[in-house]
Amino acid sequence: MSLIPNSFRALVIGSSGTIGSAFVELLENDPACLGVMGIHRNSTSPIDYQDLSTIESAAKALSDEAPFQLIINTIGILHSADWMPEKRLDDLNAEQLQMLMQINAIGPGLTIKHFSKLLDPANSVMATLSAKVGSIEDNRLGGWYSYRASKAALNMLIKTASIEFARTKPNTALVAVHPGTVNSHLSKPFKGEQIGRPPLDAAQDMLNVLLSLNKEDSGTFISYSGEQLPW
């Protein structure tokens, strides 16, 4: 039985991004969604992973809007104007590794800590976008050291928190979600326009999966297709 009720309220974290804004658009047009809120770096209650103190502040600012039955965190980084994913070990550098760990693992981990307090204890889903390249078992090509490591760290944080949630929030499913290749700023340098799916299609695929989750799915790494991925 799906955890998300027939009528639900949603929160999208990172709603100014390509995938985040697509989620907001879909949820605004979903008759089952009674209301959707979005937050990002420039929202009224800003959240910015380069300033980790904003995470707790944003969660506290939204406490009067709780509870939410669905929270989706879409924030993540793959590259910047200064660097691209490493192709070899000699490309590994501390600044890049630290930045990706902060944006892709530390920020989302603290978001789970603070925003899980806004979940409906009766039935809720909290999803964080991860990436298949963060799977240790699935790593066959190498490269992309910082991105792979940061997403693997994120996956461990989600898995560990889900074990605690089984005791403290038994009616919540906490999951990592792989969106696939999406035509976005993140994928643009890697032929995202040619091989990626439109953002609305990707968000709809993931939303379909999230709305069908049950409590037994908590602590899993799920693809946009519904396939369970290896950690």
Say whether pLDDT at 81 is over 90.
Answer: no
Give a yes or no: residue 109 inside a domain: yes
Q: What is the pLDDT of residue 79?
A: 83
Give a yes or no: residue 228 inside a domain: no
Say whether pLDDT at 195 is over 80.
Answer: no
- pTM of the predicted structure, to 2 decimals: 0.93
Instruction: Please give the average per-residue pLDDT across 126-133, as a whole number.
Output: 97
pLDDT digit string, tens, across residues 3-62: 999 999 999 999 999 999 999 999 999 999 999 999 999 999 999 999 999 999 999 999
Give a yes or no: residue 3 inside a domain: no
Give a yes or no: residue 69 inside a domain: yes
Instruction: Please give the average per-residue pLDDT across 213-222, as a whole number.
Output: 97
Residue 222: pLDDT band by 50, 70, 90 thresholds? Answer: very high
Instruction: Please give the average per-residue pLDDT across 156-168, as a whole number.
Output: 98
**Comparing C-alpha atoms, which of 206, 164, 150 is closest to residue 23?**
206
Report the greatest alpha carbon distance in the chain: 52
Give a yes or no: residue 85 inside a domain: yes
Say whether pLDDT at 134 is over 60.
Answer: yes
SS3 for the chain, per residue? CCCCCCCEEEEEECCCCHHHHHHHHHHHCCCCEEEEEEECCCCCCCCECCECHHHHHHHHHCHHHCCECEEEECCCCCCCCCCCCCCCHHHCCHHHHHHHHHHHHHHHHHHHHHHHHHECCCCEEEEEECCHHHCCCCCCCCCCHHHHHHHHHHHHHHHHHHHHHHHHCCCEEEEEEECCCECCCCCHHHCHHHHCECHHHHHHHHHHHHCCCCHHHCCCEEECCCCECCC
Say whether pLDDT at 109 is over 70.
Answer: yes
Q: What is the pLDDT of residue 117?
A: 98
Give a yes or no: residue 231 inside a domain: no
Q: Which of 1-5, 13-17, 172-176, 213-217 comes out lowest in average pLDDT?
A: 1-5
Give a yes or no: residue 147 inside a domain: yes
Cross-sheet strand order for the sheet of 221-223: 33-39, 8-13, 70-73, 124-129, 172-178, 221-223
Q: What is the pLDDT of residue 82?
A: 80
Residue 202: CATH number of its domain: 3.40.50.720
Structure tokens at 56: 């707790």
As a whole number of angstroms, the distance between CA 127 and CA 216 comes to 14
Residue 192: pLDDT band by 50, 70, 90 thresholds? Answer: very low
Give the range of the structural domain holding residue 14, as residue numbers without chain letter.
8-223
Give a yes or no: residue 162 inside a domain: yes
Average per-residue pLDDT in the chain?
Answer: 94
Q: Are strands 221-223 and 172-178 parallel, antiparallel or unpaired?
A: parallel
Percent with pLDDT over 70 in the chain: 95
Task: Identify the residue with better confidence: 111 or 181.
Answer: 111
Instruction: Please give the average per-residue pLDDT across 115-125, as a whole number.
Output: 97
Q: How many domains does the chain have?
A: 1
